[in-house]
């Protein structure tokens, strides 16, 4: 993970960069608790996070700053089909 030194160095504030233990961005459980980064913020185990998508439910438990960029372009493609067995000689060269 790249450290956000360009943000913190001018402020001379101490910081610790951590990834969520469960590796998730944040999903709401039936009990109203959250997993991932959102859960870490909800429990106040962290003061802030970078790069979270604003969903309809997340602002109910965490405070977002004003959006300065909203990118709505998404590219999707189908998963490539595996090569047939008779082409196994070139399989090592698949991407």
What is the per-residue pLDDT across 41-61, written as a single tens digit (0 to 9) for each?
Answer: 999 999 888 778 888 999 999
- Is the Cβ–Cβ distance between 56 and 28 less than 8 Å? no
15-26 average pLDDT score: 86
> 28: helix, coil or strand?
strand
As a whole number of Å, the end-to-end CA separation of the chain is 25
Structure tokens at 33: 């608790």
Q: How far apart are CA 94 and CA 90, in angstroms?
A: 7
pLDDT digit string (tens) for 50-95? 778 888 999 999 998 887 777 777 777 788 787 788 777 776 766 5
pLDDT digit string (tens) for 23-46? 899 999 999 899 999 999 999 999
As beta bridge partners, residue 15 has: none
As beta bridge partners, residue 28 has: 34
Give CA separation, 70 vs 52, 66, 76, in Å.
12, 11, 18
> 58: helix, coil or strand?
helix
Give me the domains of the chain, ranges plus CATH numbers.
Answer: 1-68 (3.40.190.10)
What's the predicted TM-score (pTM) here? 0.60
């Amino acid at each position: 993970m790249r450290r956000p030194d360009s943000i913190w160095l001018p402020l001379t504030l101490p910081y610790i960069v951590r990834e969520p233990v469960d590796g998730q961005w944040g999903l709401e459980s039936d009990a109203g608790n959250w997993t991932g980064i959102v859960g870490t913020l909800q429990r106040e185990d962290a003061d802030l996070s970078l790069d979270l998508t604003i969903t309809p439910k997340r602002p109910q438990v965490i405070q977002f700053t004003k959006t300065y960029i909203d990118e709505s372009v998404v590219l999707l493609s189908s998963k490539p089909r595996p090569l047939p067995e008779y082409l196994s000689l070139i399989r090592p060269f698949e991407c």
